[in-house]
Amino acid sequence: MSRPTRPFDLAIWLQAQTRTVDAALDRFLPKARTRPTTIHQAMRYSVFAGGKRMRPALVMAASEACGGLAVDALPLACAVECLHTYSLVHDDLPSMDNDDFRRGRPTNHKVFGDGMAVLAGDALLTQSFEIAAQCQGWPRYSHQDVILELARAGGSLQLIAGQVADLEGEGKDLTLPQLRFIHERKTSALLCASVRLGGMSANCTPAQLRALTTFGYHVGLAFQVIDDILDVTQTTEKLGKTAGKDVTAKKATYPRLVGLEKSRKIATQLTRKAYAALVPFRGRAQSLEALARFLLGRDH
């Protein structure tokens, strides 16, 4: 008699992935006692400050969906998290969003000073490429493809472009297409690159890579719409970062442009489009599907 299959438990899966990713990050990053100690302490301060590890989870889940090995996906999961953490450290600087609180702690520049926070961000970005450069590549995806994926997602056409448009849009009445432009670049690009890198590490087929791209794009957009909603509905304690910041900075957000209820509907529609992209994986994308559901319902 065949045993009944247990329902997928995302909380247990996420806990295991986070433990594995954190241990790998600890191995990749220079130790806090390595000279010059201040920079390594500053890098580790933000990396191990308790982020949700959603991007590494997406790398690992996409690899699983394509039948890959965790050992191949793990360095790319760490590379993506280093790049993401760099963007947060720099975004919090007084010359950018000027934030005092992130991941439930004082921001990097509040603890180490502005100059050291700039350097910690720079070092984390560089570290991201150093980690990714160590992968050997796969039959369909060369080592160069992996580096290009990371560079494009973090470069002046994506992550930085989103940040530029965000900074320049402050206090202005942006249209929905202009807001979508920012969200695609500032947020969706790195989430999309995360699932694509997971797929690449599993030597996925071109059709699987296309499906992952559609999934990542829509999950990434939904993620930012939810982030906009949480900024006005949650407390600073719950978010681990200053709540209400978008309103104070007069930023264009979905709730500001279309209201809370319509924003929730848009996030749900985007998540449905993400689910639809998983059909070709025929039941092997349990973790990706559960992550998309979790991201839609998250409260921080």
Interface ranges with ligand GRG (CB under 6 A): 51-52, 54, 87-88, 90-91, 96, 103, 159-160, 162-163, 186-187, 224, 227
Whether the Cβ atoms of residue 55 and residue 80 lie closer than 8 Å to each other: yes
Count how many residues are written for the chain: 300
CA-CA-CA-CA dihedral for 191, 249, 96, 76, to nearest 10: -10
Alpha-carbon distance 263 to 171, whole Å? 20
SS3 of residue 105 by DSSP: strand
Q: Provide the total of helices (H) and of strands (E) in the chain, helices listed first.
A: 16, 2
What is the closest distance, in whole angstroms, from the C-beta atom of residue 21 to ligand GRG in the complex?
12
Nearer to ligand GRG (CB atom), residue 196 or residue 241: 241
Closest listed residue to residue 87, CA positions, set 242, 191, 217, 243 = 191
Alpha-carbon distance 70 to 61, whole Å? 9
Lookup: tokens for 30:
């220079």
